[in-house]
């Protein structure tokens, strides 16, 4: 039997440039320029973030999922439009 998941994620601040999340005592900034699908999201939609595992975040109301590495190294994950 597995124990309880003690990993947590929380939105700590939202600005006109992006928002900050707190994940396991580390804070990360998600700039709208790197993550444009959040720019027109409501506060409720941004705050509805869930940690699926240690490296995977999911915004249920927006159907957006991101790996932590895409937040820490957004230049490695260029936005591509086809």
* Share of the chain residues as helix, strand and coil, in percent rounded to the nearest 5: 20, 40, 45
Burial class (CB in 10 A: 0-12, 13-18, 19+), 78: exposed
Give the count of alpha carbons within 13 A of 37, CB side only: 11
Rounded CA separation 48/35 (Å): 16
**Amino acid 76: pLDDT:** 86
pTM of structure: 0.83
**Local mean pLDDT, 10-residue blocks, the chain (82 residues):** 67 97 93 93 96 90 92 82 52
Rounded CA separation 23/55 (Å): 10
Domains of the chain: 9-76 (3.30.2020)
């Amino acid at each position: 039997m597995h124990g309880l998941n003690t990993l947590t994620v929380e939105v700590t601040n939202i600005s006109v440039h992006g928002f900050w999340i707190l994940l396991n005592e580390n804070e990360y900034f998600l700039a709208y320029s790197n993550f444009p699908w959040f720019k027109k999201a409501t506060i409720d939609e941004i705050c509805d973030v869930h940690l699926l595992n240690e490296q995977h975040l999911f915004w249920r109301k927006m159907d957006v999922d991101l790996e932590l590495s895409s937040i820490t190294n957004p230049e490695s994950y260029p936005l591509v439009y086809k």
